[in-house]
Amino acid sequence: MVIFGASGDLTKRLLVPALYNLACDGLLSDNFAVLGTAMEPWTTEQFRERMSTEIPKYQTRKEFDQAVWDRLVARFHYVPGGFTDAALFPALRAEVQRLDAAYGACGNVLFYFAVAPRFFGLLCDRVHESGFKDGPGWKRIIVEKPFGTDLESALKLNREVLANWQENQIYRVDHYLGKETVQNLLAFRFANGMFEPLWNKHHIDNIQFNVAEAVDVEARGGYYDSSGVVRDMMQNHMFQMLAYLCMEVPGSFEPDAIRNEKAKLLQSVRRYTPDEVERNAVRGQYGPSADKPGYRQEKDVNPQSNTETYAAARLYVDNWRWEGVPIYLRSGKALWKRGTEIVVEFKRAPAVIFRGTPVNGLDANRLVFHIQPYQGIEIQFQAKIPGPQMQLQPVHMKFGYGEAFKANRYTGYEVMLYACSHGDATLFSRGDLVEAAWRIAQPIIDHWAATPAEFPNYVRSTWGPKAAADLIAADGRQWHEVVTEDVLKQSPLFRDGDAVFLEQVIMALTPRQLAAGEVVITKGELGREMYLIEQGEIEVLDDEGAAIKVLTDGDVFGEIGVLMSTKRNATCRAKSPTDIYVLSKADFHRILRDNSSFADAIRTVAKERYRVEMTADSLMAE
């Protein structure tokens, strides 16, 4: 394995830990060796020492196996030089031939381009001109993303790398596809007969892809300001997941059988005109918070930058399987959590059979693929509440990878390196796949580049711009926010709740975004809902409209009106853009009845905040 850019972050943070994991699992051949090259004037010993210093920081296993590492690093070698250095490539070839003889690699060479894409074409030419393709064994090249910065550059890059190499020798890596949970999309769909018959427009109402990052652009402002979230996340990672989830059933698990279906799927995604982009996509950029800068204040970012750090889009796949089914994608930086999920929402069952019962309506069934950080699959459905009446509540079943399998955490690169070394291109993008993805993204990029943006338009640590919620609300739908126990426990009201209680609350919450100045409760109206603030500020107003109290993250409000079925005694409005969860009266009472400690906490809030004494009987009354 020849690594160009062996002194860079990618090598020490991901490639070397991946090789170490493969060695620990017995998946590296005894005939394997690494030859690194970069500008740094290191010797082989210095390269080994540097990697030995870094591996404890970046290895992902619970315990570090020094013996395995010692055996692996002894197979690391190094040749210094720059890509324009005429002497570098003959020296590399001579060293590869020496190592091939020493390790018995049978002439097989994997070239890894851990460098900027602008060098891909040059390196392909130099490796070819140096005679590396001659002799026995296979020769393969892995190139990192991003593969181009737009459609034109991607087409040009394809021409460059294929000028002297065959398509089956080029492996365009997207490490996201190395995640077990992404690969499991294929296994889930095609190994379980109870789901594939439902996988179409007749049974599925909508699909949502969510990639939320809690971190900001960190020290990558210079790169990110020329990229943005559509290029950085949607065009590659998210479109690849979309292809896996929605493609037709392949004829086999042969690499080209799967990649053919992925290509056909992406080629069927509707390309938008500028007017259609305006209706079907929204963008955002985070602003400053009390203690952190906004995007435009980040290092190496243009102070007037129109680069999006958030994007949401409604897409359609124009084929028989998915005709008319909206597919929603959203991703952003500096959001409320780190999490990647795919939500498949099924059409609601008819509620007519429940006439004459307390059931007023039916929630949709959902299938949720948790990609990261929690890895698993969840099915949400309706179940009858124990008791004499026909009452329903949402429940779920979960499968967690950590609970079902004993496996060490991988970086995502292990699978890619192993697959490439065995000639399995299933998880790698073919040239036509890259081009198809850019043809979807390019109209959005072009329209936004030509249209001024009103930035910033969302606050750090929120769900993103309200325009994204409005986009999906226009279809009568809403984003499914994956709430965790940690989120609920930020509120004192739920901090001491047990797992069953917290799951009941999570399944009953409905997310809602408020714009600054938006009224959520009006004095005098009948209380039917209570609210939990995820992020933001809510003002409680007196009769003259002056703020008498400000509620913030983790606070609840509106609960007394719901409990006592009385009219609201104050108006509440959002002081700033605010994310809240809504809990209906019926769900609130049901949870109260099942959880005495929660009822006690509500009584305490009523006494301390509103000076209202409530008995256990009055609390439980409908």
Supply φ then ψ for residue 359, to 5 degrees: -75, 115
pLDDT of residue 605: 67
Supply the pTM of this predicted model: 0.91
Q: Which residues make up the CATH 2.60.120.10 domain(s) of the chain?
A: 485-620
Mean per-residue pLDDT, 591-615: 70
Are 597 and 537 a contacting pair, CB within 8 Å? no
- Mean pLDDT (whole number) for 72-89: 94
Distance CA 248, CA 257 (A): 10
Alpha-carbon span 2 to 96, nearest angstrom: 8
d(CA 539, CA 547): 6
Give ranges for CATH 3.40.50.720 in the chain. Answer: 2-144
Phi and psi of 39, rounded to 5°? -70, -30
Amino acid (1-letter code) at residue 412: G
Residue by residue, DSSP assigns 327-378 as EEEEEESSBS--EEEEEEEEPPPP-GGGTTSS----PPPEEEEEEESS-EEE
On the question of pLDDT at 408 being above 90, the answer is no
E strand intervals along 18-87 = 34-38, 76-80
Record: fold of 177-345+425-473: Dihydrodipicolinate Reductase; domain 2 (3.30.360)
% of the chain residues with pLDDT over 70: 96
Is 108 a residue whose pLDDT tops 90? yes
- Lowest model confidence (mean pLDDT) among 87-96, 144-153, 401-410: 401-410
Q: Which amino acid is located at 336 in the chain?
A: W
Alpha-carbon distance 329 to 331, whole Å?
7
Domain spanning 485-620, CATH architecture: Sandwich (2.60)
Q: Are strands 204-212 and 170-172 parallel, antiparallel or unpaired?
A: unpaired
In this structure, what token pair is assigned to residue 317? 């796949």
**Catalytic-labelled residue, pool 237, 370, 447, 480:** 237
pLDDT at 105: 95
Contact 493, 601 (CB under 8 A): yes
SS3 540: strand
From CA 343, how far away is CA 365, in angstroms rounded?
10
Identify the CA nearest to 301 among candidates 343, 265, 267, 333. 333
Query: Could you confirm whether 175 is annotated as catalytic?
Result: no
Query: Residue 79: helix, strand or coil by DSSP?
Result: strand
Q: Which homologous superfamily does the CATH classification assign to the domain defined by 2-144?
A: NAD(P)-binding Rossmann-like Domain (3.40.50.720)
CATH 3.30.360.10 positions along the chain are 177-345+425-473
Provide the pLDDT for residue 609. Answer: 64
pLDDT band at residue 560 under the 50/70/90 scheme: confident
Give the span between the Cα atoms of 562 and 461, in whole angstroms: 29
Whole-number pLDDT of residue 618: 55
**Side-chain-side CA neighbours of residue 315 (13 Å):** 31
How many Å apart are CA 602 and CA 608, to the nearest integer?
10
In the predicted structure, residue 83 carries a pLDDT above the cut 80:
yes
Strands 2-4 and 34-38 turn out to be parallel
> pLDDT tens digits for 289-303?
888 999 999 999 999
pLDDT at residue 245 in the model:
96
Q: Which residue has the tokens 């002056």?
A: 546
Q: Which residues contact 155 (CB under 8 A, 6 or more apart)?
A: 148, 435
Mean pLDDT, residues 106-123: 93
Q: How many CA atoms, within 13 angstroms, populate the side-chain half-sphere of residue 32?
A: 18
Length of the chain counted residue by residue: 622
Q: Which of these, 238, 152, 156, 177, lies nearest to 439 by C-alpha position?
A: 152
**Residue 347: CB partners within 8 Å, gap ≥ 6?**
202, 203, 204, 205, 364
Q: How far apart are CA 120 and CA 142, in angstroms?
A: 10
Residues 9-36: what's their mean pLDDT?
Answer: 95
| Terminal C-alpha separation, the chain | 70
Pick from 179-193, 406-420, 510-524: least confident: 406-420
Distance CA 120, CA 44 (A): 25
